[in-house]
Structure 1
Amino acid sequence: MKNALITFWGCRGSIATPGRSTERYGGNTSCTCLKHGQEYFIFDAGTGIRGLGLELMELVEQHFDGHTIELNIFLSHTHWDHIQGLPFFQPAYDSRFKLNIYGSENKDDMLEKTLSGQMNSAYFPVPMSQLNSELNVHADLQALNINGVKVCSAAQNHPGGSTAFKVTLDDGRTLVYATDNELDLQFHSDGTPKDDMGQRYFELISKVDYLIADGQYTDEEYPTKIGWGHTSLSLIHKIAYLAEVKNLVIYHHDPMHTDSVLEDLSHKYTHEYESLTPPMQVIWAREGLTLQLRS
């Protein structure tokens, strides 16, 4: 069985929040990396991808054997907090790397135009055409099989659309990355689906080993944020438990939630699920945290 490690490089939603009040959970925006053997599966390219890029550059300097290093980057959508780190991702400028970027097939050729557009001279000094890596942008997510690792996807409810990704390793271990979705519009308050999109999400996450899920708003905050594209904390816990998720990871923390606020929220929403039978482990994502993907 190949080792499979999940590392969080950015867990914040909406906007980066550096500073003393976010040191524990981190201030970088969304980026999570699954390393399976020598394969890299990177989810989102927020500001957190910069740190990942620096680590990859160190590794290639120490261990490069002449073979191109392939990186598979899956973008849930193209809002700024999920793509703004890409121009600062050092492997993109290095010919020793090959970057395969995947996004929603519903966007067609708009994906590449959006990524190159943020590197327009009005916003950034270096155009996308000057990236030295081999760059392939794909807007087709049907039946992906990358060296024995299967990746499927599902559309989500978010302004402008977003995509959830499910990874199934060759030995059956599973991971779902599903951020920026407003599950309160697709599910009843008891955690059961109320429409087709909700049912598809429920089936996608059913019995997975790890679910990295949007949990941006408290129950008190959500009523004033309806339509903003994010999920309330009590509901994502209920849905995950009903779907028999083994490990729930709360992700995409609100920029207004400091370390102390997140600590309080983790006690408020999480404690009861770890004492149920069977228990569901709940982890609040923090920058720098690495988890073993176990079945």
Structure 2
Amino acid sequence: MSIKVKFYGTRGSIPVCNPEFQTYGGNTTCILLSSPDSDAIGIFDAGTGIRDLGKDLVNAPGALPKDIFLTFSHFHWDHIQGFPFFAPAYIPQQSITLLAMGEKRATTNLKEIFENQMQEAFFPVKLNEMGANFHFTFFQSGSAILGKAHLKAIPHQHPGGAYSYRVDQGNKSVVICTDIEHGPSIDQNIVEFARNADLLIHDAQFTQEELRTKSGWGHSSYEQAIEVARQAGVKQLVMTHHDPDHDDQFLKKIEVQCQKLFPNCLLAKEKMEIEI
């Protein structure tokens, strides 16, 4: 049993579209998880990258996935701003479950979040006019079985709060840990959460030098992401949530430096696919 991961949004904070940002991508966070033996898909976060994801789903041969599970690390603007442009949300009877997990979440009314985002003052189509069958689900326990996948979540440090997710399916595992600030030392709860994962997707918005002046911003350095991967014994590391000021030339240099420290690592690129 395999899990396919595809990156549709790799940028943090705000989308960028200049020519020098095309290799690694300019859309904000959105990650697709799918499996060839499942008629459901999982989407993590709905940044601007979800627009292209939706187009790919609608234009693909065959029927749309029976169930679409859209899961959120948190609800800052760059992680929800693409949702009104997600094409399957306008298809009558398409089942879409918007979900979040975690007992310490400040906000549990998911429907209200998206209703507010789509008020007339902000967007011409209201949530209840989109067409799909929406299900708003909150798992306070931080653990749930969705089809053949076991989904778990734990909180980590970020302004307003955010959550890391782990997907275990068969003998494969993926951990998504974005918008995390470790602080002076690596969060050992995250290390244990990612223990022996096949793939760790980890926030790496800043260099170590940049991080010194951005305490409280809620993000990690490349070195911290690598240290989590090392301590947790993960097989592969992908770093994402690229800073909007880091262009392709900068990120290419960083990627080479990171691979010297942890050979099986990459910086996320839009439309990059990994199968585990």
For 2:78, the aligned partner's letter is D
Give the partner amino acid of 2:160: G
2:199 maps to which residue? 210
Distance in 2 separating the partners of 1:211 and 1:104:
19
The residue that corresponds to 2:159 in the other structure is 159
Per-residue CA deviations over 1:208-247 (Å, capped at 9, x if unaligned) read 0000000000011111110000001112211211211110
- Quick one: distance in 2 between partners of 1:108 and 1:256? 31
Aligned residues: 271
TM-score of the aligned structures, taking structure 2 as reference length: 0.94
Structure 1, unaligned runs of 5 or more = 188-192, 275-280
d(CA) in 1 for partners of 2:31, 2:232 = 23
Question: 1:96-131 deviations in whole A, cap 9, x for unaligned?
Answer: 421111124424443321221111111111111102
- Alignment match, 2:227: 238
Q: Distance in 2 between matches of 1:68 and 1:204?
A: 29
Cα offsets for 1:15-70 (capped at 9, x unmatched): 000120111001000000011123201110000000010011113xx423xx9721
Find the residue that maps to 1:222 and give its secondary structure: helix
Q: Equivalents in 2 of 1:221, 1:44: separation in Å?
A: 25
Match status 1:103 vs 2:100: yes
Between the aligned partners of 2:107 and 2:214, the Cα distance in structure 1 is 29
- Helix, strand or coil at the partner of 2:183: helix
Structure 1 letter corresponding to 2:275: Q
Residue 290 of structure 1: which of 251, 273, 276 is its match? 273
Alignment partners' CA distance in 2, 1:107 and 1:54: 32
3-state SS, counterpart of residue 40 of structure 1: strand
Provide, for residues 154-193 of structure 1, a one-character-per-residue CA deviation record: whole Å limited to 9, x for no partner.
Answer: 0010000001110000x210000110010134x2xxxxx4
Stretches of 4+ aligned residues off by more than 4 angstroms: none
**Distance in 1 of aligned mates of 2:65 and 2:53:** 17
> How much does 1:4 deviate?
2.2
Matches within 5 A, 1:21-60: 21-37=20-36, 38-59=39-60
Q: What percent of counterpart residues are identical? A: 33
Q: Structure 1 218/136 Cα, relative in aligned 2: closer, same or farther at 3 Å?
A: same
Structure 2 residue runs of 5 or longer lacking an equivalent are none
Equivalent in 212, 224, 248 of residue 223 of structure 1: 212
Normalising by structure 1, we get a TM-score of 0.88
